[in-house]
Amino acid sequence: MAVNEARPMSRWLAIVLVIAYVVTGVFQPIILDAISLFGGASKEAFLFPIPNSLGMALLLPLPAKDAFHSRTDSLWLFPRDIFVMTLIDVFATTLTLFGQLMIGSGLYIIIYSSLTIWSAIGSRILLKRKMSVWMWLSIGVVTVGLMVSGVGALTSFGADKLVGMLITLVGTILHSCVYWVSEYFCLATERPIHSRHLAGFMGIFGVSIFLSYTLAETVPRWEALFVEPVHDKQGNYLYIFLLYLLLILFDWVHLYAQFTAVVSVGAVMVGVNKAISSVGVFVISHFTFCKVESANCIDVYKICSLVLVVSGVVCYTLASNRYKKRLEKQAQAQQPQEETEHSLQPVTSSTSLASVESTEHLSIDLR
């Protein structure tokens, strides 16, 4: 039976979890780069997506409110929807992490920071959500920032890095699909599946897919796909193992913090937290990996691109929050008139307040 979560979270615990959300968001890509540096993240071995799915799977035991379906009911009521979203997530995770291994965490975080924008565009197309002029202008700023990073990568590093950026961008767009497709399939019902349970089932199925590939392709060629790359880079097996465990832990903490505390601080703070995480990855990757991978070094193109992308995301978040409050005032103004006409109805249409709420409250921040 589901457990009621009505008891509010203490202020200090919420602060600790928000800080944990930011810190883990910074170090998730950094840890993967460190594993790659030791030779433990060979693209052919395909071990690197497993920690992300494991972190999601560990969310499943967490309780959900009584207003949501139980874990068992969720699986039996939404099997097709969960399977479809799992496939999208598997492809998205594979492409984003594969792209990161090609371009480094510095360029990766610039591309992945645009996730909020792609989620908004998807919601506009599929869920028919309305957007203000400022929201569209913010999307334009992010687009320009991505174009600047592409020009910089092509100028400084050649076509290979540009290809890696495009792969990361496609993966980021697919990750955004998980946000609004999950809402369209499962969350916009009278009694929906809880987003934690949704993430948990997606994680379990994702782990099953990745482990199946590992057992079929990687294990039979373990020497060539894992041992030799580690040996070539003079890596340490114990360090690689511990880093993978740390990555699983950070993936889980990041998601747990989001679902329990981050969504309660409001859309604006969510946007600010993501901006802080992006800047943190950008700076730390420079000081940690610049000497061994030039793509992680800070240059003018990256600085301009990061400023544009992060500014666009924050501005979009602010504009979205203002738009939501404006609709709230309009709904409150209409309520007395509806009461006098004895025709008060719950707000459930595509033009309602629910249609413009930030996807942060329903989304699965997978990285």
Tell me the pLDDT tens digit for each residue of 183-201. 666 555 565 677 777 888 8
- Any domain includes 212: yes
Report the SS3 class of residue 220. helix
pLDDT given at position 233: 92
In this model, does residue 307 exceed pLDDT 80? Answer: yes
Average the pLDDT over 198-210 and give the result.
91
- The pLDDT tens digits of the residues spanning 67-81 come to 555 556 666 666 777
CA distance 14 to 7: 13
Say if CB 153 and CB 165 are below 8 A apart: yes
- Any domain includes 328: no
- Any domain includes 279: yes
Number of domains the chain contains: 1
- Any domain includes 305: no
At CA 262, angle to CA 30 and CA 18, rounded to 5? 55
Say if CB 209 and CB 90 are below 8 A apart: yes
Query: Residue 201: how many CA atoms within 13 Å on its side-chain side?
Result: 25
- The pLDDT tens digits of the residues spanning 316-364 come to 888 887 887 887 787 777 766 555 554 444 443 333 333 334 444 444 4
pLDDT given at position 62: 74
CA distance 205 to 354: 29
pTM of the model: 0.78
For the CA atoms of the chain, what is the radius of gyration? 21
- Any domain includes 346: no
Average the pLDDT over 244-257 and give the result.
93
- The pLDDT tens digits of the residues spanning 167-183 come to 999 999 998 888 777 76
- Any domain includes 238: yes
CA distance 131 to 149: 26
Domain that holds residue 104: 11-60+68-132+153-290
- Any domain includes 310: no
